Amino acid sequence: MAEITAGMVKELREATSAGILDCKKALAQADGDFDKAVEILREKGLSAAAKKADRAANEGLIGTYIHPGSKMAGMVEVNCETDFVARTDRFQELARDLAMQVVAARPDYVSREQVPADVIEKEKEIFRAQLADSGKPESVWDRIIEGKLDKWYSEICLLEQNFIKDPDKTIQSLLVENIASMGENIQIRRFSRLEVGG
């Protein structure tokens, strides 16, 4: 059994923002393996976040971002469970980052569930027309169309977009991380993007 030092706990805490006790337990469980401990904490955070997803989130704030030059702006309503969390610097920074994401990545919807059925059908028709010209057998079209739809959703749905500040994570995983670290359910209710002349 590897010895768990205070330095190891401190390093893991800085890397994950998890509590001291949680870091100590994860390192002990991972027998001192840092990467394994990070994974244990991540899994724990994800399951904790999943449990919080059903809780009512009626507090929050509107995050805003105005692009330099004042020609574009984004506003996002981000909800949490308590006014206390809404007032924290971390929550406010998250809301501002999300407003910046809206300006930079130009999503059309918060989630794929919000995309109207007729819009999805129209996109499928475009994909079918492309496949008809591709020479690929019709037996594989449905699978190809599903893959193309997933890629399309990742462009038009805010939750599925890659985070502009860290393209290795999606907005959904950014939310899950914040739910885990802040201990409250967090939801993006709606957003708006303004552009001069747009």
CATH code assigned at 78: 3.30.479.20
Residue 33: inside a domain:
yes
Among residues of the chain, what percentage have pLDDT more than 70?
91
Q: What average pLDDT does range 58-64 have in this prediction?
A: 92
Residue 1: inside a domain:
no
* Adjacency order of strands within the sheet including 59-66: 59-66, 72-80, 187-195
Coil, strand or helix at 1? coil
Query: How far is 27 from 24, CA to CA, in rounded Å?
Result: 5
Residue 39: inside a domain:
yes
Angle at 91 between CA 161 and CA 57, to 5 degrees: 85
* Mean pLDDT of all residues belonging to the chain: 87
As for how many domains the chain has, the answer is 3
CA 198 to chain centroid:
27
Coil, strand or helix at 64? strand
Q: What average pLDDT does range 169-190 have in this prediction?
A: 90
Instruction: Provide the domain limits for residue 162.
Output: 59-110+157-195
- Alpha carbon separation from 61 to 13, 47, 150 (Å, rounded): 28, 26, 30
Q: Which amino acid is at 181?
A: S
Number of other residues whose CB lies within 10 A of the CB of residue 176: 21
pLDDT of residue 50: 57
Residues 103 and 167 in one domain: yes
Give per-residue pLDDT as tens, 41-59: 777 765 555 565 666 677 9
